[in-house]
Chain A
Amino acid sequence: MNYSVDGLTPKSIERPETINELSDVLSTVHSHGLSAIPLGGRTRIKVGNIPSSYDVAIDLSGFIGKIEHEPGDMTVVVNAGVTLSTLNKLLAAEGQRMPFEVRNPDKATIGGSVASNAPGHRQSSTGGIRDWVIGMQTVLADGTVTKSGGRVVKNVQGYEMHRLNTGAFGTLGIVSQIAFKLVPIPAEQQTIIAWFDDDKTAASVGMSFVNGVFMPEAITLVSGPAAKRVVTANGESLPPDNIWALLIRLGGGVRSVERQVNEVVGTVGSQGASGFSVLDDSEASKTWSELEVIHKQAEISARLISRPSIALTTVSSIEKHLKINADSDISAVTDLGFGSTTITANPSNDAESLKVAKLINNQLLETSGSFVIEACPLSIKQEMDVFSHVGNSINLMRRIKHEFDPNYTLNPGRFVGKI
């Protein structure tokens, strides 16, 4: 197992399996003035600033315990170390699933996904992870076990610490157990993949579904070399090089999906798609997996979250700049319903890498919205904050960190503003 984070290795590794063990580990780390980084499946370990210190790795992949699924209540309470795949397999037996997806679900743990607010393909319809978290147990830096929220689908009791801890990268406490709302697995699911030879048409067709009479489960626009890869993932005969691919995933009752498929096919056909395919759920999984591979392989990866229309103009502006100024393949995967776009690049050498990363960062700094450079060479990380600026609210964020972890025990230096 590789516990290194941005080139740093821990002096010791702890693998707590129970809440008491986890609490004891943190209490010891804290009392010795050490620092600790919690890890799950390590699928998003690249995301974040370089740690300012790293003494102890707390490996939560064995923090599994019992999964408490209440099908009639459509809720589940699960420990941080359970993977998304494991959980979804269990839920599927009752016709339910986690509302959100994450990349690499066989490895990604629930705790890591929640702590890092992991993105996934279905965000057009499901939004972010935090909207599905109804309660949480966290272990504070000194080992104190705390909880907030509850186990019922609707609860307003006290401050929503579980929202604060979602996406806090474990800097306020280690997320140990989470209660979620669930959703039913739709009776029918289909994906339509359409490709276009110009970006404007692809984008306007995509946006028409964002504001249409039904909300697809996913509305994803892919540009650059990635577009060709997702189109050919299902054995489509080779499309031309410069294409934009639009992936629309639909879900619902049988008749409802039939109507949605007809509408999508009608629109892409009449709006000048170069080609399209309607894929059933298992065929489509190849396409969606290919997108995951693209994200995983990217040497440079940046995720922008903005108003959907701004995401589109930003992508095209970055692509233009890079085409003129750098020698690199650039792809962008834009979730139109959610308004997020992940720009990926695989520059040919280190010098190009530096240039491309800086170009992307500079372009994103000019865009309204927020971003995270999710992957980039270490030399670039050393020079900047991988998270976008948060304005004057950084002062409050620092005060919050100070209240919960004044000694900077947890994940020091890795969060926004190097918190």
Chain B
Amino acid sequence: MSTNNSVNSNLISDLSNAVGEQYVIWQAEDLLVYEYDGSIDKATPQAVVLPETAEEVSEVVKIANKHGAYIVARGAGTSLSGGAVPLRDAVVIALTRLTSLIEVDAKNRIAIVEPGMINLHLSQRVSHLGLFYAPDPASQKTCTIGGNIGENAGGPHCLALGVTTNHVLGLEVVLADGSLNWFGGTERESTGYDLRGAFVGSEGTLGIVTKIAVRLLPKPETIHSMLAAFTTMDAASNTVSAIIAAGMIPSALEMMDRKTIDAVEPFYNPGYPAEAEAVLIVEVDGLYEAVEEQTETILSICNQNGAMEIREADDEDTRTKLWETRKGAIGAYGTIAPTYYLVDGVVPRTKLRQVLQQVDQIAAELNVTVANVFHAGDGNIHPAILFNEQNPDEVKQAILAGSKILEACVAAGGALSGEHGIGIEKQAYMPLVFNENDLEAMSRLRTAFIGESPDNEPIGVPSLGERFNPGKVFPGGAIHGEAYGITSESFRSTGTQDWQ
């Protein structure tokens, strides 16, 4: 963990002149809240700036350049992969004052927002027009749309509707030289290279987004949610496969295991059957007729697979109640252990059973507790490794279990991340999926955005190539769990796996 040893008073003074003294934070105790995000990693920034406009962001980037400081953009700090953790003594640009809804074009279903707008607020602001913003990360009550851009965030309803990148039309971005650029526009496609597509999910390493044009969708005519309890995880997994095989893509298809049920019971008292080993939530929406047709099929598939109990909801209150346990699951893990490490991996849907069994084996071998709540429909698993962060051995075991789970996902033909990104957490595992040529091609893109580090760069000036969010995404930038004494030797790189 880096510490805030010295304060660069010239930097602080330049920043204060640019945005106002009250919007520059540099006292050690005030910086504490900016040390961490939703992951287990931590680092202290040298200063935090809260600009109010895109122009101020641009100004701050130029000032940071002048003083040779790294820059980390931050929204609500809900990243689960360490995306918002400021490595290398960086200056944090917190975008929480840029919260405006700049434009709503209801006829063409477009909104332009500032990056600090909270995800759920956008849907609330356009609700009276019969519209909503589709990507719905579990943290949507607090996470910002700017942060969602950085991480290409997903959510339960991304199964049918796609992740953040599928809903972004255009971006205004401050580049490394402080210039403001538009990528894309307010149209579905634009000419030239798809810069917005390259930028979404780049985890803040290519620039800072200051305006976002998104697609809005019309609210469905009706929504029907179903919850089914099963005596085995296998039966629930088979149900998922059968629903997809029946030619349907429900709007959500979520699963919880027994440990998660145990965690949520005392909080929400859902009264799931005592023998239930898995609970599945299936939601369909659209026209009444379509929902009716799909509901009939889904209920029949659930019954064929031996569902012990089925609950249904077709009004807002009942639906909220039905989803309560799923949405509150991660918070409820607090009843089992003080800390959780929420792993995010993806497997082909058809390999769900196999990989979940492997997760169980890994937990047993390493003697860690793992609870599962996940997006079953798209094979995006979220094993939560529950541990006590005060016990260094438990931390090590948790991180080791995470790495083994991700290896299992990749070995099954899956991916390192479905929606949380690489950040600090997964950079050491990138070589499991990508070889040197792949990573080198990605770094070329970053060079095009940021500029190359000159050979004669003075000592003490950050590498230009890593000006934004240094030490993220690419292997070798940081060590996951360093704050808990994890060393680089804790990680094993098992070589490359060819895509062919």
Given contact pairs A150-B415, A154-B346, A166-B194, A305 touches B187 in the complex (Cβ within 8 A): yes
Q: Are A128 and B221 in touch, CB under 8 angstroms? A: no
Residues of A within 8 A of B201 (CB): 156, 159-160
Chain B 154-168 near chain A by CB (<8 Å), digits 1 or 0 = 100010001101100
- Within B325-383, the residues touching A (CB, 8 Å) are 346-350, 375, 378-380
Instruction: Check: A324 CB closer than 8 A to any chain B CB.
Output: no
Given B108, B198, B378, which contacts A153 in the complex, CB threshold below 8 Å? B378
From B181, B286, B415, contact of A396 by CB (8 A)? B181
With A128-B188, A146-B437 known as contacts, the answer to whether A156 contacts B420 (CB < 8 A) is yes
A258 at the interface (CB under 8 A from B): yes
Any chain A CB within 8 A of the CB of B419?
A: yes
Closest residue to B377 on the A side, CB-wise? A153
Closest to B179 in A: A392
Q: Check if A253 sits within 8 Å of B348, measured CB to CB.
A: no
Q: How far is the CA of A309 from the CA of B110 in the complex (A)?
A: 12
What is the bound-complex CA distance between A309 and B499, given in angstroms?
Answer: 43
Are the CB atoms of A369 and B185 closer together than 8 Å?
A: yes
**Contact across chains for A146 and B414 when beta carbons are under 8 A apart:** no
* In the complex, chain A residues whose CB is within 8 Å of the CB of B438: 146-148, 158
B235-257 CB contacts (< 8 Å) to partner A: 241, 244-245, 247-249
Query: A259 on the interface (CB 8 Å rule)?
Result: yes
Residues of B within 8 A of A166 (CB): 194, 197
> Measured between C-beta atoms, what is the minimum distance from A399 to chain B in Å?
4
**Interface residue tally on B, bucketed by range:** 35 or more
Tell me which of A159, A207, A305, A396 contacts B189 (CB under 8 A): A305
Q: Which of A103-111, A211-219, A281-289 contacts B (4 or more CB under 8 A)?
A: A211-219
B477 smallest CB distance to A (angstroms): 13
Q: Does B72 contact A (CB under 8 A)?
A: no
Contact of B245 (CB < 8 Å), options: A71, A177, A183: A71
Q: A305 with B190: in contact, given A158-B422, A392-B179 (CB under 8 Å)?
A: yes
Bound state CA distance, A145 and B191, in angstroms?
A: 26
Give Cα distance in the complex from A127 to B189, angstroms: 9
Whether A307 contacts B293 by the Cβ 8 Å rule is: no
Judging by beta carbons under 8 Å apart, are A131 and B414 in contact? no
Known A151-B413, A158-B422, A397-B195; judge A137-B499 contact (CB<8 A): yes
Q: Select B195's contact among A72, A73, A338, A396, beta carbons within 8 Å.
A: A396
With A72-B241, A402-B448 given, is the CB distance from A340 to B188 under 8 Å?
Answer: yes
Tell whether A184 is near chain B: CB-to-CB under 8 Å.
yes
* Chain A residues, Cβ within 8 Å of B197: 130, 160, 163-164, 166
A158 near B195: Cβ-Cβ < 8 Å = no
Question: Which residues of B from 464 to 500 have beta carbons under 8 Å from A?
Answer: 473, 499-500
Docked complex: A305-357 residues within 8 A CB-CB of B? 305-310, 338-340
Q: Is the CB of A2 closer than 8 A to any CB of chain B?
A: no
CB distance B293 to A396 under 8 Å?
Answer: no
Tell yes or no: A144 within 8 A of B by CB: yes
Verify A73–B348 contact, CB threshold 8 A.
yes
Stretch at the interface among A3-11, A270-278, A383-391: A383-391
Q: Quick one: which of B409-426 are within 8 Å of A by CB?
A: 413-422, 426
Contacts of A369 in B (CB 8 A): 185, 187
Q: Given that A158-B434, A158-B442, A387-B191 are contacting pairs, would A253 and B378 also be in contact in the complex, using a CB cutoff of 8 Å?
A: no
B457 at the interface (CB under 8 A from A): no
Shortest distance from the beta carbon of B245 to any chain A beta carbon, whole Å: 7
Q: Is the CB of A404 within 8 A of B444?
A: yes
**B194 and A164 within 8 A (CB):** yes
- Decide if B151 is an interface residue (CB 8 Å cutoff): yes
Q: Does the CB pair B350–A72 fall under 8 Å?
A: yes
> Are A211 and B107 neighbours in the complex by a CB distance under 8 Å?
yes
A306 to B245, CA, bound (A): 37
4 nearest CB pairs, A to B: A163-B197, A155-B415, A184-B247, A256-B290
Chain B positions near chain A (C-beta within 8 angstroms): 105-110, 151-152, 154, 158, 162-163, 165-166, 175, 179, 181-183, 185-195, 197-198, 200-202, 218, 220-221, 241, 244-245, 247-249, 286-290, 292-294, 346-350, 375, 378-380, 413-422, 426, 430, 433-434, 437-442, 444-449, 473, 499-500
What are some 29 contacts across the A-B interface (CB < 8 A)?
A72-B245, A148-B438, A148-B441, A152-B414, A154-B154, A156-B417, A156-B418, A156-B421, A156-B422, A158-B430, A158-B439, A159-B201, A163-B194, A164-B193, A164-B194, A167-B193, A187-B247, A211-B109, A214-B287, A255-B292, A309-B107, A388-B191, A390-B192, A393-B195, A399-B449, A400-B445, A403-B447, A403-B448, A416-B193
Q: A152-B413, A167-B194 are in contact. List 15 more A-B contacts (CB 8 A).
A: A70-B350, A72-B349, A150-B415, A156-B417, A158-B422, A160-B198, A163-B197, A215-B218, A306-B187, A307-B110, A339-B187, A372-B191, A390-B191, A393-B192, A397-B193
